[in-house]
A = this chain, B = another copy of it.
Amino acid sequence: MIPQRSRPATIREVARRAGVSPATVSRVLNGRPYVRPAIRAAVIEAVEALGFRPDPIARSLVVGASRTIGLIVADITNPFYAETAKAIVETARGRGYVVVLCNTENLPNLQAEQIRMLQEQRVEGIILGSVHRRDPAVEELVASGFPCVMYNRRLLTNAGTYVVLDNARGGEEVTRHFLALGHRRIAFLAGPASFSTAADRLAGYRRALRAAGRPVDPRLIRQGQFKPDLAYQAARELFQQRPRPTAVIAGNDLTAFAVLDAAAHLGLRVPEDIGVSGFDDTEFASNERIQLTTVAQQKVEMGRLAVNYLLEFIQDPDRFRRSPIRHVLPPTLIVRRSCGAMGRTRAGLAATV
C-alpha cells in the first residue's frame, strides 16, 4: 500500500505508466485545462498507483516558487512572538506554505543576515516581526519590491505593508485609565526608542497626559528596556524616587512582570502602593497571582493577516508595490487587579494617594 520511501517515483515513470508524456502529467498535476478526461483519469490512476509526489525542489527551480516563506521574530521565547508565530505557521500550512523560522534577538546585523539567507533559500516572501524604526536592511528589502510584510513593528518611513496594533491609542487608553483612577504620578517604562511599538505607546501616554492638562515629567519616563532584567533595575530606580510614582505603565507584559517583582522586593504592595499595567495580554497576565491589567492585541488575527497579505503580495507584487497596506488593529484594555481599579472606589484610592 504505502509506497516505498527509498526511491520516490518520478514524473517520467508516471508518464510511462499512463502512456503519455511527462508534459501531460505535469498538466494534470497542475490542474491545467485542455486535457482529455480519459487521459486525465489515466494519469491520476498512475499517480496514485505509484504514490507519486512531485519534487518541490525541481518545481521551484523552474517556476521560482518554493512554497516557503520566512518568519523573522525578535525572540520566539517571548509569548507575544510565540503566539503570533503559531498563528502564522498554522495559516501558512492551510495555504500550502511552509515557514522557516529566524530569531534576531533584535540585532540588526543578524536580521540583515537572515534576510539575505532567506532570499538565497528562495523563500517567496518574508514576514518581519522585529524591524527597527530605522532599519537599512528592511528599508532596502521593501524598496526592492520583494514580497514582505511587517507585523508588530514598522518603519519610521512608514514604507511597506504592515499590520500593527494601534499602539498610540493603547498607550493613551491605559494612561487615561490611570488618570481616571486618580493617579497623578504615572511612570512609563518604555521599550527601546528604536522600536515603533515603544515609541508609539509612549506617544500615546504623552498625548493622554496633555489632553488631561497634566505635565509630562521626564523623570517618570524610562526608555530602553524590553528585557526583564533591565526593566527590573529601572523599576527599582523609579520606586526609589520621592515622591514615588503611584503607577507604572510597562511597555509590555514581560517588563510588567519584572516591575511586579521589583515592587515585591521593595515591600511595595500592588495595587495598594503602586498600580501596574502591561501590553500584549500574554497567557500569564491572567494568572491568579498576577492579574495584570494590560492592553490586549489580537495576536492570532495579526498573524493570520500577515500571512494573508504576504500571499496576496506574492500573487500580485505590483499592486502591493504601488499601494502597500497599512492595517492597524484596535487595542483592548483589559482591567485586572494590578491597576487597582477592582474593588476600590475612586475616593478610596484618592485617599491613599
Contacts and interface: CB of A to CB of B under 8 A. Distances in A.
Interface string A25-45: 000000000000000000000
A18 interface: no
A289 interface: yes
Given A56-B121, A56-B122, A99 B98 contact: no
Given A60-B57, A122-B56, A288-B260, A101 B77 contact: no
A288 B269 CA distance: 13
A4 to B, nearest CB: 9
Nearest to A299: B77
A99 B85 CA distance: 14
A2 B112 CA distance: 13
A58 interface: yes
A85 B101 contact: yes
Interface in A239-288: 257, 260-261, 264-265, 283-284, 287-288
B76 A120 contact: no
Contacts of A60: 57
Interface residues of A, number: 51
Contact of A77 (B102, B103, B283): B283
A92 to B, nearest CB: 10
Contacts of A283: 77
A121 B82 contact: no
A135 interface: no
Instruction: For the complex of A and B, list the 3 residue pairs with the smallest distance between their C-beta atoms, beginning with the closest.
Output: A261-B288, A289-B289, A264-B288
Interface of A: 2, 5-6, 53, 55-58, 60-61, 66-68, 71, 75-77, 79, 82-83, 85-86, 89-90, 93, 98-103, 117-122, 140, 144, 146, 257, 260-261, 264-265, 283-284, 287-290
26 contacts: A5-B119, A5-B144, A55-B61, A55-B120, A56-B121, A56-B122, A68-B100, A76-B76, A76-B82, A76-B89, A77-B82, A77-B83, A77-B86, A77-B283, A79-B79, A82-B82, A86-B103, A93-B102, A98-B102, A100-B100, A257-B284, A260-B287, A261-B287, A261-B289, A264-B288, A264-B289
